[in-house]
Amino acid sequence: MKKDNKKVEEDLEIVDEEVSQEKIKEITIMDLPGIGPATADKLAEAGFTDLMSIGASSVGLIVEATGMTETAVKKVINAARDSLEMTFMGAEKYDEKRKNIFHITTGVKAFDDMMDGGFESSSITECFGEFGSSKTQIAHQLAVNVQLLKNKGGAEGMCIYVDTEGSFRPSRIRQMAKGHKLDEEEILKGIKVARAFSSDHQILLAEQIDKMIKEGMNVKLVIIDSLTSHFRSEFIGRGTLADRQQKLNKHMKTLSKLAFVHNVVVYVTNQVSADPAQFFGDPTKAIGGHIVGHNSTFRIYLRKSKKSSRLAKLIDAPNLPDAEAPFFVTEGGLKDL
């Protein structure tokens, strides 16, 4: 009798598992209420290719992409969220999920210590500072280091580099690869570069990265160098400030979702300006205001220091105290002081 009961329980478990797997396989975008082939194509064109992208989206974006009513879109989003169980979870489960987080080394011990191991995945790290403060040097170094073995501080993955100012230099990558005694050609192959010529082009390139990852590209690092250059030059005057910030906010949300959904490191460099209202202390402030500040997980202020060194100052982090890390920029890459 006990054996029969045990067999029944095992059979029920198998059936439950099969039903669960069948349910997972059945749920696609086409299964969402009000989504037919034509609407699915419109969603795909706008970058909504899976349930997660729909569930994490706002009503306005999907209305704009499909032409559906707000009421219909709300039903679509709620259905996507229900199927993905996008709701609260216990902190212990969230902690378990965060065990997949990884860090990319900068090659500077003091810098890595300040960042609790390096640049963190599933997050946006922003470095801002004046020209010559090494924002782009750090970008090049990370593009090399992401390809290192995991036990060497890397992620054994590729880098996507969106260059908005024409500052990417393959020759600099070669120097840094040589400094690590790595195969220069292989390191270059592990970096995909695109030059963005406008803010719209920049936004489009960022949206394409999601598709590249879904198609199997082993991307572990996304670099935008620099984030605000085009926005700053295209939106001039106070009259355009609201439009600029709205567009920049949408771009940052895309990068944030990219970091979280695919567990990649997103590194953005940012320009600065002098605050005329600052009478005492350093008047330097980052471009983009609260939009960039609130969307960046970690914010680092870079500046030149004594004896041709640079100083990285962590000014905002969810789990780390304010700290500073000095470093040198050498031919072989970033080095400890």
Q: How many other β-carbons are positioned within 10 Å of the β-carbon of residue 135?
A: 25
Is the pLDDT reported for residue 208 higher than 70? Answer: yes
User: Strand 265-270 relative to strand 123-129: parallel, antiparallel, unpaired?
Assistant: parallel
Q: What is the pLDDT of residue 35?
A: 92
Q: What is the pLDDT of residue 104?
A: 98
- Closest to 273 in 3D by CA, of 230, 322, 315, 232: 232
Label residues 257-295 b or e (16+ Cβ within 10 Å = b).
ebbbbbbbbbbbbbbbeeeeeeeeeeebbbbbeebbbeb
Task: Check: CB of residue 252 under 8 Å from CB of residue 291.
Answer: yes
- Report the range of poorest mean pLDDT among 66-70, 123-127, 218-222: 66-70
How many helices (DSSP H) and strands (DSSP E) are in the chain?
14, 13
3-class secondary structure, 211: helix
Give the up-direction half-sphere exposure of residue 254: CA atoms within 13 A in the CB hemisphere.
24
pLDDT band at 88 (very low <50, low <70, confident <90, very high): confident
* Domain range summary for the chain, segments of one domain joined by +: 2-84, 97-336
Topology of domain 97-336, CATH? Rossmann fold (3.40.50)
Lookup: tokens for 139: 């970008």
Q: What is the pTM of this model?
A: 0.81
Q: What is the pLDDT of residue 24?
A: 37
- Cα distances (Å, whole numbers) of residue 158 to 73, 146, 173, 209, 213: 36, 7, 14, 12, 10
User: Strand 323-330 relative to strand 333-336: parallel, antiparallel, unpaired?
Assistant: antiparallel
C-alpha of 207 from chain center? 11
- Closest to 134 in 3D by CA, of 40, 267, 7: 267
Is the pLDDT reported for residue 3 higher than 60? Answer: no
The DSSP call for residue 113 is: H
d(CA 156, CA 145): 9
Average pLDDT of the chain is 89
d(CA 18, CA 25): 10
Topology of domain 2-84, CATH? DNA polymerase; domain 1 (1.10.150)
- Closest to 136 in 3D by CA, of 163, 174, 157, 105: 163
State pLDDT tens for residues 258-315: 999 899 999 999 999 877 666 666 778 898 989 999 999 999 999 999 989 999 999 9
Which residue reads 């572990």 in tokens? 220
Can you tell me the mean pLDDT for 83-103?
85
State pLDDT tens for residues 8-63: 455 545 444 444 444 334 578 888 998 999 999 999 888 788 888 898 888 998 99
State pLDDT tens for residues 101-145: 999 999 999 999 999 999 999 999 999 999 999 999 999 999 999
Q: What is the pLDDT of residue 15?
A: 43
Q: What is the pLDDT of residue 58?
A: 87
C-alpha of 239 from chain center? 30
State pLDDT tens for residues 157-200: 999 999 999 999 999 999 999 999 999 999 999 999 999 999 99
